[in-house]
């Protein structure tokens, strides 16, 4: 899901949470905010002294109850994923656990997760909500839930997010986690994924499975959206700058992307024969549209989990990017 429109420019503050190793000595931590040309537009440096009396230790004594859905083969070299309940009351936790299992089977039906499944340790964190469901501002519905999530983020009706990141991490304190999948108990279509922050998806809609996997592509691997809205151009990727997402290119620096995977003789940019239905006959190339642009931004393959909900798998370039990241996390040095 993309941030689809900017109604007006304005300055606002959002809370955010960054996971860092607990420092042994005083350190300066700098956070830079960059625009779509990767220029720093705001910067904040915070000094962290481990002995600071205002650092509150939570999670050591008590933590939110959780169940292990899938243990990793080697707990020392694995990736920890936590599913977090949103909009499930205490009495609906059995339904949450069922939804976690459904999401998990969908994720691990996709390569390369399928082959590398044993490298993931997965837990389900039972954070209870007072109300069932989630907020829908466009209908005037506001709920009291564990993470205070809502539809209509940036006034986009299907953009479902939470801005309460401190609450999210407080629920998780004391549990093993590096990546977060928030499951929202609603039958309305929506979701969102933010790299290294969280993946959030509805659970009671028929497209739950492809959406949760697509959003995990964003939040876990930093994959970009391989689609455009025909009716609306979003200038997220300036055409003179190579995007950082591993599955998008403006051809400014194609060498840094998947050029090595393109078969000899394939024309770049590549045109796709729309009548070719057989995936085995598809070639890796550079196809428009992608990255919310009808022109000037290219994707690697005719279709992919990062392009449509119908395609059953990630394209070869996305698969390689995910594999590289799993290796990065789990390599034994
Ligand atoms: Zn892809």
Q: Which pLDDT value is given to residue 333?
A: 61
153 and 282 part of one domain: no
Separation of 199 CA from ligand 1 center, angstroms? 18
CB proximity list for 278: less than 8 A, separation 6 or greater: none
Separation of 57 CA from ligand 1 center, angstroms? 41
Q: Which pLDDT value is given to residue 220?
A: 94
Q: What is the dihedral of CA 273, 274, 275, 280, to 10 degrees?
A: 70
Q: What is the dihedral of CA 68, 196, 1, 236, to 10 degrees?
A: -170
In a domain, 54, yes or no: no
User: Does pLDDT of 1 surpass 70?
Assistant: no
In a domain, 33, yes or no: no
- Write out pLDDT tens, residues 179-210: 999 999 999 999 988 888 999 999 999 999 99
User: Does pLDDT of 4 surpass 50?
Assistant: no
In a domain, 331, yes or no: no
Query: What average pLDDT does the structure give for the chain?
Result: 93
Q: Describe the crossing of helices 208-221 and 93-107 by its angle, rounded to 10 degrees.
A: 70
Separation of 300 CA from ligand 1 center, angstroms? 6
In a domain, 49, yes or no: no
In a domain, 323, yes or no: no
Cβ contact 81:179 at 8 Å? yes
**274 vs 246: which has the higher pLDDT:** 246
- What SS3 state is found at 90? helix
In a domain, 256, yes or no: yes
User: Does pLDDT of 61 surpass 90?
Assistant: no
Separation of 303 CA from ligand 1 center, angstroms? 7
- Of 292, 296, 208, give the one whose Cα is nearest residue 249: 296
- Write out pLDDT tens, residues 224-243: 999 998 777 778 999 999 99
Quickly state the pLDDT bin for 168 (edges 50, 70, 90).
Answer: very high
CATH number of the domain that 90 lies in?
3.40.390.10
User: Does pLDDT of 6 surpass 60?
Assistant: no
Given the DSSP bridges, would you call strands 40-48 and 27-34 parallel, antiparallel or unpaired?
antiparallel
- Write out pLDDT tens, residues 203-229: 999 999 999 999 999 999 999 999 998
Cβ contact 114:323 at 8 Å? no
CB proximity list for 84: less than 8 A, separation 6 or greater: 125, 127, 146, 147, 168, 171, 172, 180, 181, 182, 183
Rg of the Cα trace of the chain? Answer: 21
User: Does pLDDT of 277 surpass 90?
Assistant: no
88 and 177 part of one domain: yes
73 and 215 part of one domain: yes
Q: Which pLDDT value is given to residue 60?
A: 83
Q: Which pLDDT value is given to residue 59?
A: 86
- Write out pLDDT tens, residues 65-107: 999 999 999 988 999 999 999 999 999 999 999 999 999 999 9
213 and 112 part of one domain: yes
In a domain, 277, yes or no: yes
List the domain range (segments joined by +) for residue 280. Answer: 230-317
199 and 139 part of one domain: yes
E strand residue ranges, 111-260? 120-125, 179-184, 191-194, 198-202
The owner of tokens 């999210």 is 168
180 and 128 part of one domain: yes
Separation of 208 CA from ligand 1 center, angstroms? 19
Separation of 137 CA from ligand 1 center, angstroms? 33
Separation of 302 CA from ligand 1 center, angstroms? 9
User: Does pLDDT of 3 surpass 50?
Assistant: no
Question: How far separated are the first and last CA of the chain, in Å rounded?
Answer: 36
Residues in a beta bridge with 199? 181, 193
Separation of 305 CA from ligand 1 center, angstroms? 6
Separation of 270 CA from ligand 1 center, angstroms? 15
Separation of 178 CA from ligand 1 center, angstroms? 23
Q: How many domains does the chain have?
A: 2
Separation of 249 CA from ligand 1 center, angstroms? 12
Separation of 139 CA from ligand 1 center, angstroms? 35
In a domain, 2, yes or no: no
Separation of 89 CA from ligand 1 center, angstroms? 36
- Of 202, 239, 219, 222, give the one whose Cα is nearest residue 317: 222
Q: Which pLDDT value is given to residue 8?
A: 57
Separation of 24 CA from ligand 1 center, angstroms? 40
Separation of 7 CA from ligand 1 center, angstroms? 30
Note if the pTM is more than 0.95: no
Distance between CA atoms of residues 117 and 78, nearest Å? 10
Separation of 120 CA from ligand 1 center, angstroms? 22
Cβ contact 202:191 at 8 Å? yes
- What SS3 state is found at 98? helix
Compute the half-sphere exposure of residue 16: CA atoms within 13 Å on the CB side of its CA. Answer: 13
Separation of 128 CA from ligand 1 center, angstroms? 35
- Write out pLDDT tens, residues 117-155: 999 999 999 999 999 999 999 999 999 999 999 999 989
Among 189, 221, 253, give the residue marking a domain's end.
Answer: 221
104 and 199 part of one domain: yes
Among 174, 204, 221, give the residue marking a domain's end.
Answer: 221
70 and 215 part of one domain: yes
85 and 213 part of one domain: yes
207 and 115 part of one domain: yes
**329 vs 273: which has the higher pLDDT:** 329
Cβ contact 124:100 at 8 Å? yes
CB proximity list for 30: less than 8 A, separation 6 or greater: 43, 44, 45, 46
The owner of tokens 């650092």 is 55
Quickly state the pLDDT bin for 115 (edges 50, 70, 90).
Answer: very high
198 and 268 part of one domain: no
134 and 278 part of one domain: no
């Amino acid at each position: 899901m993309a941030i689809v429109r900017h109604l007006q420019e304005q300055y606002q503050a959002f809370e955010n949470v960054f996971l860092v190793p607990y420092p042994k000595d005083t350190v300066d931590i700098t956070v830079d905010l960059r625009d779509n040309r990767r220029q720093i537009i705001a910067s904040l440096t915070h000094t962290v002294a481990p002995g600071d009396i205002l650092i509150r230790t939570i999670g050591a004594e008590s933590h939110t109850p959780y169940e292990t859905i899938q243990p990793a083969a080697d707990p020392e070299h694995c990736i920890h994923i936590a599913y977090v309940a949103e909009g499930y009351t205490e009495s609906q936790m059995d339904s949450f656990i069922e939804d976690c299992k459904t999401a998990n089977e969908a994720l691990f039906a996709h390569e390369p997760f399928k082959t590398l499944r044993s490298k993931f340790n997965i837990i389900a964190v039972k954070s209870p909500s007072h109300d069932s469901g989630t907020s829908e501002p466009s209908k005037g519905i506001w709920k009291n839930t564990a993470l205070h999530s809502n539809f209509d983020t940036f006034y986009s009706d299907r953009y479902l997010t939470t801005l309460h990141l401190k609450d999210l991490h407080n629920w998780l304190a004391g549990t093993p986690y590096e990546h977060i999948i928030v499951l929202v108990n609603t039958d309305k279509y929506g979701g969102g994924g933010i790299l290294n922050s969280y993946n959030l998806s509805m659970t009671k809609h028929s497209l739950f499975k492809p959406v949760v996997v697509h959003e995990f592509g964003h939040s876990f691997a930093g994959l970009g959206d391989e689609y455009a809205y025909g009716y609306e151009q979003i200038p997220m990727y300036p055409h003179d700058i190579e995007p950082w997402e591993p599955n998008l290119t403006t051809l400014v620096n194609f060498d840094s992307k998947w050029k090595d995977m393109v078969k000899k003789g394939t024309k770049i940019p590549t045109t796709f024969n729309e009548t070719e239905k057989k995936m085995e006959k598809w070639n890796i190339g550079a196809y428009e549209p992608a990255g919310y642009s009808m022109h000037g931004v290219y994707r690697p393959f005719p279709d992919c989990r990062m392009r449509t909900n119908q395609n059953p798998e990630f394209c070869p370039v996305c698969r390689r990017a995910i594999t590289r990241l799993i290796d990065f996390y789990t390599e034994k040095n």
